[in-house]
Amino acid sequence: MAIGMIITVSLLGIAIVMLVWFAFRLHKQVKSEKQLRSEAEESKQQIIVEQERNRQLKQEMTSNIAHELKTPVSSIRGYLEILLGDKPVDDEQRHYFLERCYSQTLRLSDLINDVSLINKLEESHELFPLESINVRMLAEEAIVELATSAEQHNITILDKLPESMTVTGNSMLVYSIFRNLIENAIVHAGDNITVGIDCYQPDDENFYYLHLYDTGNGVDNEYLPRLFDRFLRIDKGRSRKKGGTGLGLSIVKHAVLFHGGDIYVKNREGGGLEFFFSLKKPSH
């Protein structure tokens, strides 16, 4: 009888343990399903937020493009209306108006090209062929291209990049990094300044770390986080001169990211801006 009781109690204990175990597993499964549903809902919300953000960015860019197009188109229309109007226009005025029309068409062409380039960088990386390229050669090409403009503002450009800097990338995009950064300094940093380019941490195994600076006007710190935004207009600090499309620094950021690097900017101690960016070295 005692043995039977012991067996019964043991079986009951085993049953209780099994019930507790099954209850625990069921609770864990329910919790896991709730967690999965929660994660799925969170992922769905993130997708919705990202879609809304992309929609707003596209809407903002469309609005900005329309705004940027309005000025040159209005100027061209105004000049042509004068030329085609009833009042006589002498040769000197006619030549001036035609020159202004041509200048505004160049501005429109640059804007269209820059917008197209950013769209390709964001959506169609495969459209940019890759090859082994020498970084210093492309930097020097940009310096030569901008030499006349730099001389007009008494700007000295110092290139201290190593000669044997090679990356696997797109030559047009790497060239655009240096051209846009140097041109940004020429247009906005003021006259009688120096622009310098060098490479720091040259022995890093994975990246080239580059530094491009100017000794001119910096920007108010409030603008620094937005300096790579499209169509950013700064009214304080750095002088605001007309020209450019407002997309140059945005193109720089996209081009750096395309080459596996990153970029940031800060005000330089003593005056000016300095950009720090990286380009991924070729895989061995």
Please state which of the ranges 20-24, 145-149, 177-181, 262-266 shows the lowest mean pLDDT.
20-24
pLDDT over threshold 50, residue 238: no
CB atoms closer than 10 angstroms to residue 127: 9
Give tens-digit pLDDT for 124-151: 788 889 999 999 999 999 999 999 999 9
Proportion of the chain in helix, strand, coil states, percent, rounded to 5: 60, 15, 25
pLDDT over threshold 60, residue 6: no
pLDDT at 277: 96
Angle at 129 between CA 125 and CA 131, to 5 degrees: 125
pLDDT at 13: 60
pLDDT at 240: 41
* Most confident range, picked from 44-48, 56-60, 222-226, 258-262: 258-262
C-alpha 266/C-alpha 240 separation (Å) is 18
pTM check: above 0.75: no
Q: What percentage of the chain exceeds 70 in pLDDT? A: 78
Domains in the chain (CATH in brackets) are 1-127 (1.10.287.130), 133-280 (3.30.565.10)
Average pLDDT value over all residues in the chain: 83
pLDDT at 10: 58
pLDDT at 236: 44
Please list the residues that pair with 278 across neighbouring strands. 209
pLDDT over threshold 80, residue 196: yes
Average pLDDT over residues 247-260: 92
pLDDT over threshold 80, residue 189: yes
- How many angstroms from the chain centroid is the CA of residue 223? 15
Grade residue 239 by pLDDT with cuts at 50, 70 and 90. very low
Quote the longest CA-to-CA distance of the chain: 129
pLDDT over threshold 80, residue 88: yes
pLDDT over threshold 70, residue 83: yes
Give tens-digit pLDDT for 30-81: 656 667 677 777 777 777 776 676 666 666 667 677 767 787 888 889 989 9
For strand 194-200 and strand 156-160, is the pairing parallel, antiparallel, or unpaired?
parallel
pLDDT at 55: 67
Q: C-alpha dihedral over 12, 13, 19, 25, to 10 degrees?
A: -160
pLDDT at 259: 94
Q: Which residue has better confidence, 7 or 91?
A: 91
pLDDT at 75: 87
Q: What percentage of the chain exceeds 90 in pLDDT? A: 42
CB atoms closer than 10 angstroms to residue 129: 9
pLDDT over threshold 70, residue 198: yes
